[in-house]
Amino acid sequence: PKYVYEFAEGNKDLKDLLGGKGANLAEMTNLGLPVPPGFTITTEACRHYLVHRAMPPGLDAQIEEKLAALETTMGKRLGQPDDPLLVSVRSGAKFSMPGMMETVLNIGLNDESVRGLAAQSGNERFAWDSYRRLIQMFGKTVLGIDGELFEDAIDVLKAGKGVTDDLDLNADDLAGLVVTFKDIVCEATGAEFPADPREQMRLAIEAVFQSWNAPRAVLYRRQERIPGDLGTAVNVCSMVFGNLGMDSGTGVAFTRDPATGQQGVYGDYLQNAQGEDVVAGIRNTVPLSELERIDPKSYAELLDIMEKLETHYRDLCDIEFTIERGKLWMLQTRVGKRTAAAAFRIANQLVDQGLITLEEAVGRVTGEQLAQLMFPRFDEKADRDRLGRGMNASPGAAVGRAVFDSYTAIKWSRSGEQVILCRRETNPDDLEGMIAARGILTSRGGKTSHAAVVARGMGKTCVCGAEELDIDTKNRRMVAADGRVVEEGDVISIDGTSGEVFLGEVPVVASPVVRYFEGELDPASAEADELVRAVHRFMRYADAARRMDVRANADTPADAARARRMGAQGIGLCRTEHMFLGDRRPLVERLILADTDKEREESLAALLPLQREDFTGIFEAMDGLPVTVRLLDPPLHEFLPDITELSVRVAVAEARGEEHEGDLRLLQAVHRLHEQNPMLGLRGVRLGLVVPGLFTMQVRAIAEAAAERVKQGGRPRPEIMIPLVGTVQELEIIRDEAVRVVREVAAEHGVELDFPIGTMIELPRAALTAGQIAESAEFFSFGTNDLTQTTWGFSRDDVEASFFSNYLEKGVFGVSPFESLDVDGVGRLVRIAAEEGRATRPGLKLGVCGEHGGDPVSVHFFHEVGLDYVSCSPFRVPVARLEAGRAAA
């Protein structure tokens, strides 16, 4: 196969093969933009390497051929002693993984060619600087030497000279550093630094392949749900130099502000610097707008290119560029990451500009982003004690205890503390700490720094580059400009939308997007900003496009009303268990303890009017819309007191000779009902069959509430749902009884009552015999939480806390099957049940009421298998509406 493509041979749609970086370098080349020539080695070659631990046959020859062509184009050979061609070897996977994998610059330098480079450029300092960078990067990434050894050597050199800036080191210093670095390499590896340019290139390519499986890359992919077997491409790109003097430099730019979506000039620039210097925060960058003063010609050209790219990609682009002695070079572009708010605003603006259609716009904003916009924010009216301000790198309002290292962040968050990770700057080693933290605060680096990029990707609040704060990680404290000190453990609040940092806890308020959904904020009013207008516009489109209804899981009239405001088209799951708690507990205890039919009937009769009231309120809130009521599901012992507590109480009473007859009976009942595996025990339909009158009472309460509502002129639409059915026989018995009760109530009240009776599908057997069950069920609702538990044999509460992190780490699954539906296993059961159920009963209504109903990826699956609705918590309803619309569009 063809493993190597010249830049001019590719295009932006070949990301699978050439990686994102390679595909976009190709696209820019073909757009006629100034890209240094080079070639890309495909991800296919990498996959071969990862599987076989060896380069694929033929690859070397193809690389040799493309390198020869590059040498001809450039008019010099790789590492040619008197005038060397230098190249970078750059990783670039399909999905961008910022800073996760390796890149080596200045390949081709050795003791001879460094002199050629010096002579050709007329700049000794530059040549030695480039050479020491090569040894440093190569040593760290290819040879696996601890990077600190090199950094320490630089620090020692600077300290000896009494200087602090890299730029204060002259050619001799840097030549000396090269000797030191080569010694470090020798000592660490027992071999000389490879002087042969071709060997350097080859080893670097191999190292890039290997970096795909570096631990931090693996962790990042898991976080971002990027498949682990894609592999990376490798770009070999002729070098251009930003470190040739003050007329050179390197920078990054965005065509729009990735935090807010505003159009303008956003980016950072650093004179006389190479490669990563900008993002590493080693020296302080200047805002991109300064480039207009420093180099007006390049600035104008850059703006021109940015506009070209945005029109071409029809989206926000981010860019890496280098200026070599006044000549602009493009080194990378991609459709840039952005915050949730920016995603909505940008898509909205691009529609207004006529660059994309409304359909495309809705395709570009996700339910996950919408969920982020619904997070609360700081109350502007509250008292705030401002410590300082940095850049608004990733929005949100985060409150937590200040910690100054990742380890503490992880440890404290495990013990339930909310923490803000405060660092001077972050690097990939901080990833786990960043995941554990509520928010991230750094004192250095711009909006393109590691902390900012990663936090945005995770949707985590981040303030970066807060230079007024002196973050002292060694002593675990930070000092504000006015001298106030925040010690480890002190509470701070950070506002990722404004960039402000506050001492203490600032109260938070609802986001305007939530106020819009709640109907408190009119999108046409002056108070509504562009974000709210964009949300409104996209929601209307999604609502019109979607095939599936969206219902909510709600157990109380208040929740039902809120769900309705959020756009719910009914209740997909109304649980009845909480109705058996609180001050009704004694009644329920009496029911459970009843020895005689009479006692049982008395307690049921006492519960009936209370249950009826529960339903009346909910039917009223959801008038005209379906309300699926699930009959009692959990095992009875959940309604009895804790066994240990009760035993103690009985023992104490006994010892004191006090009356304890009641408690004793209770304790006996608790023992009787105790189960090893309550999840698989006496619950759901099994309770209905075993405890006489229980389900009958519930059905009667539903029917009476409905009858009352009808008489008041309402339109109640209850649906009765039987949980945990495994076989059609169970359902038939309960169903016959329910039908009888409903008829009875209808006759008593002289109204017409007719509601569907259906079942949950939450056991594998139910899914596999759905064809039979559908004979007795008028609807199915997939209880995907239990179905996941029973399909995998996982007890959710136990496994999530115990070994799931281990499973995720080992990559057994990329995301918990309780969070996002396991499409292959659990999804297969859903598909079978949907098909076979509808074969028996065409038009059988199908819904889902597990947590997955509000998970974006799962919603797409439910759309695809043909469900009629998804049901989720009221707050996720807008998310599900948007995703159902995107799935159908």
| Contact residues: ligand ADP, CB under 6 A | 36, 88, 90, 99, 103, 105, 237-240, 275-276, 320, 322, 331-332
- The nearest distance, CB 871 to ligand ADP, in angstroms, is 42
Among the listed ranges 257-265, 314-322, 557-565, 729-737, the one in contact with Mg ion (CB under 5 A) is 314-322
Regarding 332 and contact with Mg ion (CB under 5 A), the answer is yes
Subset of residues 38 to 77 that bind Mg ion, contact rule: CB under 5 A: none
Exposed e or buried b per residue across 141-164, where buried means at least 16 C-beta atoms within 10 angstroms of its C-beta: bbbebeeebbeebbeebbeeeeee
Closest CA to 847 of 872, 867, 818, 864: 867
Residue 103 site contact among Mg ion, ligand ADP, none (CB < 5 to 8 Å, cut-off depends on kind): ligand ADP
Q: Are 90 and 239 in contact (CB under 8 A)?
A: no
Q: Tell me the pairing of strands 757-761 and 717-722.
A: parallel
- The nearest distance, CB 114 to ligand ADP, in angstroms, is 17
Q: What residue type is assigned to position 15 of the chain? A: K
Residue 45 site contact among Mg ion, ligand ADP, none (CB < 5 to 8 Å, cut-off depends on kind): none
- The nearest distance, CB 251 to ligand ADP, in angstroms, is 9
- The nearest distance, CB 89 to ligand ADP, in angstroms, is 8
* Closer to Mg ion by Cβ: residue 178 or 330: 330
- The nearest distance, CB 343 to ligand ADP, in angstroms, is 22
Per DSSP, helices labelled H in 622-779 are 643-656, 661-673, 685-690, 694-711, 728-749, 764-768, 770-773
With vertex at residue 272, the alpha carbon angle to CA 270 and CA 278, rounded to the nearest 5 degrees, is 30
* Closer to Mg ion by Cβ: residue 670 or 849: 849
In the sheet with 439-442, reading across from the earlier edge strand, the strands are: 385-389, 500-503, 491-495, 397-403, 419-423, 439-442, 461-464, 391-394
Cα–Cα distance for residue pair 500/522, rounded to 1 Å = 28
The DSSP code sequence of 23-73 is: HHHHHHHHTT-----EEEE-HHHHHHHHHHSSPPTTHHHHHHHHHHHHHHH
Closest CA to 563 of 878, 194, 135: 878
Cα–Cα distance for residue pair 287/264, rounded to 1 Å = 12
Residue 426 CB neighbour total at 10 angstroms: 27
- For tokens 């008395």, the residue is 602
With vertex at residue 356, the alpha carbon angle to CA 355 and CA 357, rounded to the nearest 5 degrees, is 135
- The nearest distance, CB 279 to Mg ion, in angstroms, is 8
First to last CA, the chain: 37
* Closer to ligand ADP by Cβ: residue 45 or 636: 45
* Closer to ligand ADP by Cβ: residue 36 or 499: 36
* Closer to ligand ADP by Cβ: residue 34 or 681: 34
In terms of phi and psi (left: phi > 0; alpha: psi -120 to 50; beta: otherwise), the region of 41 is: beta
Residue 783 site contact among ligand ADP, Mg ion, none (CB < 5 to 8 Å, cut-off depends on kind): Mg ion
Q: 711 is written with which tokens?
A: 């008489």
Residue 90 site contact among Mg ion, ligand ADP, none (CB < 5 to 8 Å, cut-off depends on kind): ligand ADP
The yes-or-no answer on residue 849 being catalytic is yes
Among 336, 783, 837, 856, binds Mg ion (CB under 5 A): 783
Residue 88 site contact among ligand ADP, Mg ion, none (CB < 5 to 8 Å, cut-off depends on kind): ligand ADP
- The nearest distance, CB 322 to ligand ADP, in angstroms, is 5
Subset of residues 785 to 804 that bind Mg ion, contact rule: CB under 5 A: 786
Regarding 851 and contact with Mg ion (CB under 5 A), the answer is no
The yes-or-no answer on residue 450 being catalytic is yes
Closest CA to 590 of 607, 574, 577: 607
Q: 113 is written with which tokens?
A: 């060619």
Given CA atoms 855, 860, 863, 865 in this order, what sign does their dihedral have? negative
- The nearest distance, CB 86 to ligand ADP, in angstroms, is 8
* Closer to ligand ADP by Cβ: residue 234 or 356: 234
Q: 316 is written with which tokens?
A: 């926000």
* Closer to ligand ADP by Cβ: residue 261 or 275: 275
One symbol per residue from 738 to 777: x for binding Mg ion (CB under 5 A), - otherwise; what is it? ------------------------x---------------
Cα 181 to its chain centre, rounded Å, is 40
Q: What residue type is assigned to position 491 of the chain? A: V
Exposed e or buried b per residue across 374-384, where buried means at least 16 C-beta atoms within 10 angstroms of its C-beta: bbebbeeeeeb
Regarding 847 and contact with Mg ion (CB under 5 A), the answer is no
Residue 762 site contact among ligand ADP, Mg ion, none (CB < 5 to 8 Å, cut-off depends on kind): Mg ion
* Closer to ligand ADP by Cβ: residue 332 or 628: 332
Closest CA to 468 of 454, 453, 478, 477: 478
Residue 730 site contact among Mg ion, ligand ADP, none (CB < 5 to 8 Å, cut-off depends on kind): none
Q: What residue type is assigned to position 687 of the chain? A: L
Residue 690 CB neighbour total at 10 angstroms: 10
* Closer to Mg ion by Cβ: residue 136 or 332: 332
Which member of 849, 852, 863, 872 is catalytic? Answer: 849
- The nearest distance, CB 738 to Mg ion, in angstroms, is 19
* Closer to ligand ADP by Cβ: residue 323 or 636: 323
Residue 716 site contact among Mg ion, ligand ADP, none (CB < 5 to 8 Å, cut-off depends on kind): none
Q: Are 130 and 160 in contact (CB under 8 A)?
A: no
- The nearest distance, CB 783 to Mg ion, in angstroms, is 4
Which member of 48, 450, 536, 863 is catalytic? Answer: 450
* Closer to Mg ion by Cβ: residue 41 or 506: 41
Residue 696 site contact among Mg ion, ligand ADP, none (CB < 5 to 8 Å, cut-off depends on kind): none
Residue 708 site contact among ligand ADP, Mg ion, none (CB < 5 to 8 Å, cut-off depends on kind): none
Cα–Cα distance for residue pair 109/234, rounded to 1 Å = 20
- The nearest distance, CB 239 to ligand ADP, in angstroms, is 4
Active-site positions? 450, 849
Which residue ranges make up the site for Mg ion (CB under 5 A)?
320, 332, 762, 783, 786
